[in-house]
């Protein structure tokens, strides 16, 4: 059986959540955190290793709360995303306080992940179908076409991914008739409206967006050579920071969009109708907790996962 790894990005600061470590907040009836449900679904789909991307200052709590439990049911490894983990010749700009985004998070897995892998956020619940579809894609044979990478992503309906408590960031996708990604636009400040969804502009006005658009929720399926691609592109990103050196992020949707524009990747969009939910803001907590309890009551998950 082909080995596949689930990479969970859990190094986020969680500033919008109020400064707490939102990835380690309990939601399930037996104390489960969101990652527990993702790992349960991943194992059920066929993934056979988990890599946690975290921070060294979180490692003790992280290992105690989740790592020690999960390694009893599936092999576990750790990668560490650090702000000062930079290529030779680069240093952290004075005043920078956060790591460099999801691209750097996956780059931190270099030497650890050597098989096809999926990438997810630690604080998002994706539903079961996305794990099955991405896993099945990763284990299938996808012959290279004209030297292009063969990747995939789970696509979620925008209206199913919005928060009641503020704007969110989503990668809005353009998809062709073959269900392949044409372009992806990282879009910030998407809010739920009476008519569906809109983007909050700098002047405070709202620009409507199609609530039925497919969006990226950072659920990707990659081959290991993508990590080498990240290593090649990171220095170029750092060399072009300009005035945005304190906040610029090396983001997976932007990186993938660049590969698309260069005609270097074929990326299948695996549509999911499952409802996403997650913790972007502290006010999301009661809703997410109620949602997990309802899933348990409806028999989707056992009362105690592990």
The overall pTM is greater than 0.95 = no
Q: For residue range 170-190, list pLDDT tens digits in order.
A: 989 999 999 999 988 889 899
Q: For residue range 19-42, list pLDDT tens digits in order.
A: 455 556 789 999 898 999 999 999
Q: For residue range 108-138, list pLDDT tens digits in order.
A: 999 999 999 999 998 899 999 999 999 999 9
Residue 214 lies in a domain: yes
Give burial (CB, 10 Å; 0-12/13-18/19+) of 235: middle
Beta bridge partners of 50: 6, 76
For 80-87, what is the mean pLDDT? 94
**What domain count does the chain have?**
1
For 41-52, what is the mean pLDDT? 97
Residue 304 lies in a domain: no
Residue 39 lies in a domain: yes
Q: What is the pLDDT of residue 186?
A: 82
Q: What is the pLDDT of residue 13?
A: 47
The residue segments making up the domain with residue 21 are 5-297
Q: What is the pLDDT of residue 118?
A: 98
Residue 125 lies in a domain: yes
Residue 145 lies in a domain: yes
Residue 302 lies in a domain: no
| pLDDT(17) > 50 | no
Q: For residue range 226-273, list pLDDT tens digits in order.
A: 999 999 999 999 999 988 899 999 999 889 989 999 999 999 999 998
We report the CATH number of the domain holding residue 27 as 3.90.550.10
Residue 133 lies in a domain: yes
Residue 303 lies in a domain: no
């Amino acid at each position: 059986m082909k080995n596949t790894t689930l990479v969970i990005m859990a190094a986020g600061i969680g500033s919008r959540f109020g400064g707490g470590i939102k990835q380690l907040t309990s939601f399930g009836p037996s104390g489960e955190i969101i990652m527990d449900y993702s790992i349960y679904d991943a194992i059920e789909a066929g993934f056979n290793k988990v890599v946690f991307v975290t921070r060294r200052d979180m490692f003790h709590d992280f290992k105690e709360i989740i790592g020690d439990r999960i390694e009893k049911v599936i092999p576990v490894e750790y990668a560490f995303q650090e702000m000062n983990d930079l290529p030779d010749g680069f240093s952290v700009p004075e005043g920078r306080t956060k790591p460099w985004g999801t691209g750097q998070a996956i780059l931190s897995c270099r030497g650890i992940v050597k098989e096809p892998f999926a990438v997810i956020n630690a604080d998002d619940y994706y539903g079961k179908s996305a794990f099955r579809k991405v896993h099945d894609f990763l284990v299938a044979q996808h012959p290279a076409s004209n030297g292009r990478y063969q990747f995939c992503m789970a696509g979620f309906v925008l209206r199913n991914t919005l928060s009641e408590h503020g704007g969110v960031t989503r990668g809005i996708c353009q998809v062709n008739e073959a269900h392949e990604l044409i372009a992806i636009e990282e879009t910030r400040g998407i809010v739920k409206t009476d008519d569906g969804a809109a983007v909050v502009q700098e002047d405070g006005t709202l620009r409507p967006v199609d609530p039925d658009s497919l969006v990226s929720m950072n659920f990707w399926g990659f081959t290991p050579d993508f990590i080498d691609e990240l290593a090649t592109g990171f220095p170029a990103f750092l060399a072009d920071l300009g005035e945005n050196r304190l906040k610029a992020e090396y983001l997976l949707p932007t990186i993938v969009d660049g590969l698309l524009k260069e005609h270097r990747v074929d990326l299948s969009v695996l549509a999911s109708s499952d409802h996403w939910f997650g913790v972007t803001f502290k006010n999301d907590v009661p809703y997410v907790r109620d949602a997990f309890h309802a899933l348990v009551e409806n028999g989707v998950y056992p009362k105690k996962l592990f």
